[in-house]
Structure 1
Amino acid sequence: MPSNTNSINILLAPNAFKNSLGADEVAAALAEGLKQSGIEATINCCPVGDGGDGTGKILASHLKARKRIYKTVDPFGRPITAPVYYTSDQTAIIELSDASGLKLLQPIEYNPLRANSYGTGILIKKALDRKVKRILLAIGGSATVDGGTGMLTALGIRFLDREGTAIQKLPQDLTQLQNIDLSGMDARLQLTELVILCDVKNKLLGPNGAAKIFGPQKGATAENIRVLEKSQKRLDKIVHQTSGIKMSSLPHGGAAGGIAASLAALCNAKAVNGTNFFLDIIRFDNLLQGADIVITGEGSLDAQTLEGKAPLGVAKRAKNASIKVIGVSGQLDSVNQKLLYYFDQLININPTKTSLATSLKNTRINLVKTGIQIGKLIKTSWV
């Protein structure tokens, strides 16, 4: 550590706080608190993502991408507009949740038997129209468990029943799937690199699969989960017959209700660990150089964080560079020894016994207070 506060360099690299603040807003609030603490330091903000909701926007900011707004549809086919971001090296960045996300729906509307990803397929076509060389698709926050069938339908693939008729109600009627017609698939997909940023490792089927783990978050009842699992099994079987690839065997295949698996199996897409891809593309290791302390975090730091979420990736790289790491969150598993291995300090931004609704409402205020607390901690303990 430096010998005086004048030479302290603090890197703020938080993820989004789900249902509350984006990663950039979290970083700004922490920076405000640090400044209020009176600490003399250089503070650099580097909001991060892992493929979860908000990753696309943050990545576009880092890469100085330009935004274009397009007409598309929401998970129920209602007209909306959504952005696609374009970089100078002919890369398009698309956020699945902007067209097919839970954030577009009222909780009373959640219905994964009806919600599909067609609107995101429209955005992919818009990117292809601009002759991009690469598409980066961040798939967190989806409202769907449709195995990507809505998106693929928009891209020209037809999902046919036993009569040879295209199935209209996706994913509800996928149990009737008999054949997949690839003859109309947009040929430009084969000429374009498609990278899917995933924030979970779950495979498509089974007790840790798309329907059983993520279905309830999207409004699925126990009966809905049974139907969705059956639909995904049917899709897995017919995709295997069509492409020779088992969707159910692919890592990250359960992400966003099976979207990662279907795009990999039918469109030669590459599903990747979103955290590592994000940190590599923004050259995070270079940003670490010269930093004395790194502050990261997200809405909850717990066992899920250890599955590869952004704060873990940040903490690992900081630890490898012998830099102290502070983790902040709204919910904290403070006795998790694995977390304590990666973080020098863990801080819950909320007062004890605070309700979730109150915590979400006061996230920004409490992050500023936490920034003040951290500034004082650094001055008294780490200098």
Structure 2
Amino acid sequence: MHILIAPNAFKNSLDAAQVALAIEEGLKQSRLDCTTECFPIADGGDGTGGLIVERCKGKTVKQSVRDPLGREIASSFGLIGDGKAAVIEMADASGLRLLKKEQLDPMWASSYGTGELIKAALDKTVKRIIIAMGGSATVDGGCGILSALGIKFLDDAGRELIARPKELAKMARIDASGIDDRILNCEVVILCDVDNTLLGTQGAAAVFGPQKGATPGEVELLDSFLANFAAISKTQTGTDMVAIKHGGVAGGATAGLYTWLNAKLVNGIEYFLELIGFDEALKRSDLVITGEGSIDRQTLQGKGPYGVAVKAKALNLPVVALAGNVSAEGDEELKRYFDELICINEEGFDIAEAIKNTRGNLIRSAISVGNSIASKII
């Protein structure tokens, strides 16, 4: 039996490669006689860019940029496909992981540094820029990125505003005459892992603002700023940012780049699996094991394990999913794609303890899976 191990990262615990190795170790300790292949996946979330560059045997280019608070940091981006495509991880320039908890300030945080990475990629004369937007610390609608590329945001007196939400609340007009026109001749592809729209209770500010440090009052201010940005953009471009599927990803940056850079918004896991040749790995497999921190109804909206399961089921392969938490909600729908849903933690687990013990719990669960399969074969 050949088992393909294709998990997503377990948030705040292990990256996808570490998860895959833990599962592989558990299988090797079990009674099951099998071969394994580790194939860590990503769906547009934090870590996607690095996995793409690694799987495509690309190279990394170092670049100095500004972090969400405007401080100079060392960052990087990847080049793949003989240097014709750049891979940018928004979190590497504008990410939550660059800030301490007490530094989170979505009213001031800017995506400008990600725009600097894009400019650096354009200097390499790439024809395509692939952006993974997970893990951002910003709710600026991508205005920081656009500012780095030459777009100006003006108040009603024609004064240029700093591209930060607190200042952009005064936005009255957008001047795109100075845009770096190289970006308009480059295909921009954005990998999305959720389908939230820009505004409202399921929008960028309401859903993702609090995890980026926004108070309830700031959530309202951010939503109002994004609504004004959308209204001005619609007047000037004719594009309705509010209606865009995936428009709420990365603090609305997807909506801003779709509108002003003609970016393509794609399902992250589908694009990732196609780009790195997942189908070939499936063809040589008898069973697939996937997983991530939580498996629930949101998984069915295009998260990594769902994308893996859809492809596996197309080849009639059984799929086992391991997760730190498995929700009963949407259980019947989940069972259409996952033959077994296994929570790696004991009932009534403490979250902090579970995160600390993720590797051990994955190994233990994989041993159990291997032994269960072995007993059925015997």
Q: Name the TM tier (shorter chain).
A: over 0.9
Q: Structure 2 length as normaliser, TM-score?
A: 0.97
Tell me by how many angstroms 1:298 deviates.
Answer: 0.4
Partner of 2:364: 369
Distance 1:382 1:105, change over 3 A: farther
Tell me by how many angstroms 1:382 deviates.
Answer: 5.1
Partner of 2:296: 302
Partner of 2:9: 16
Q: Are residue 32 (structure 1) and residue 32 (structure 2) matched?
A: no
Q: Are residue 124 (structure 1) and residue 118 (structure 2) matched?
A: yes
Tell me by how many angstroms 1:112 deviates.
Answer: 0.9
Partner of 1:242: 236
Partner of 1:5: none
Q: Are residue 380 (structure 1) and residue 344 (structure 2) matched?
A: no
Which residue of 124, 130, 133 corresponds with 2:127?
133
Instruction: Classify the secondary structure of the residue corresponding to 2:4.
Output: strand
Tell me by how many angstroms 1:219 deviates.
Answer: 1.3
**8 Å Cα contact 2:153/2:163 also seen in 1:** no
**8 Å Cα contact 2:299/2:305 also seen in 1:** yes
Q: Are residue 72 (structure 1) and residue 68 (structure 2) matched?
A: no
Which residue of 183, 203, 211 corresponds with 2:197?
203
Q: Are residue 86 (structure 1) and residue 79 (structure 2) matched?
A: yes
* Structure 2 Cα separation of the partners of residues 34 and 75 of structure 1: 42
Which residue of 45, 63, 75 corresponds with 2:38?
45
Tell me by how many angstroms 1:40 deviates.
Answer: 2.0
Partner of 1:275: 269
What percent of counterpart residues are identical? Answer: 48
* Structure 2 Cα separation of the partners of residues 201 and 29 of structure 1: 30
* Residues 127-166 of structure 1 aligned to structure 2 (within 5 Å): 127-166=121-160
CA offset digits 1:76-133 (Å, max 9, x no partner): 0111111201113311101001111111111222211111101111111110000011
Partner of 1:98: 92
Letter of the 1:353 counterpart: G
Letter of the 2:345 counterpart: N
* Structure 2 Cα separation of the partners of residues 237 and 334 of structure 1: 40
* Structure 2 Cα separation of the partners of residues 244 and 131 of structure 1: 30
**8 Å Cα contact 1:136/1:194 also seen in 2:** yes
Letter of the 1:348 counterpart: C
**8 Å Cα contact 2:147/2:163 also seen in 1:** no
Q: Are residue 224 (structure 1) and residue 228 (structure 2) matched?
A: no
**8 Å Cα contact 2:162/2:168 also seen in 1:** no
Instruction: Classify the secondary structure of the residue corresponding to 1:331.
Output: strand
CA offset digits 1:50-101 (Å, max 9, x no partner): 1111111111111111011111121101111112011133111010011111
Q: Are residue 167 (structure 1) and residue 166 (structure 2) matched?
A: no
Structure 2 residue runs of 5 or longer lacking an equivalent are none
Letter of the 1:138 counterpart: A
**8 Å Cα contact 1:18/1:299 also seen in 2:** yes
Partner of 1:177: 171
Q: Structure 1 length as normaliser, TM-score?
A: 0.96
Instruction: Classify the secondary structure of the residue corresponding to 1:172.
Output: helix
Instruction: Classify the secondary structure of the residue corresponding to 2:158.
Output: coil
* Structure 1 Cα separation of the partners of residues 223 and 355 of structure 2: 33
Say what the alpha-carbon RMSD is for the aligned residues: 1.2
* Structure 1 Cα separation of the partners of residues 163 and 119 of structure 2: 21
Instruction: Classify the secondary structure of the residue corresponding to 1:248.
Output: helix
Tell me by how many angstroms 1:334 deviates.
Answer: 4.2
Partner of 2:247: 253
* Structure 2 Cα separation of the partners of residues 302 and 201 of structure 1: 15
**8 Å Cα contact 2:299/2:306 also seen in 1:** yes
Partner of 1:337: 332
Tell me by how many angstroms 1:220 deviates.
Answer: 1.1
Instruction: Classify the secondary structure of the residue corresponding to 2:341.
Output: strand
* Structure 1 Cα separation of the partners of residues 375 and 109 of structure 2: 53
Q: Are residue 351 (structure 1) and residue 360 (structure 2) matched?
A: no
Aligned residues: 376
* Structure 2 Cα separation of the partners of residues 125 and 277 of structure 1: 23
Instruction: Classify the secondary structure of the residue corresponding to 1:80.
Output: strand
Which residue of 174, 188, 195 corresponds with 1:194?
188
CA offset digits 1:202-225 (Å, max 9, x no partner): 111122111111111111111001
Tell me by how many angstroms 1:238 deviates.
Answer: 1.0
Instruction: Classify the secondary structure of the residue corresponding to 1:223.
Output: helix
Instruction: Classify the secondary structure of the residue corresponding to 1:75.
Output: coil
Distance 1:382 1:274, change over 3 A: farther
Q: Are residue 286 (structure 1) and residue 277 (structure 2) matched?
A: no
**8 Å Cα contact 1:173/1:231 also seen in 2:** no
* Structure 1 Cα separation of the partners of residues 168 and 162 of structure 2: 9
* Structure 2 Cα separation of the partners of residues 290 and 105 of structure 1: 43
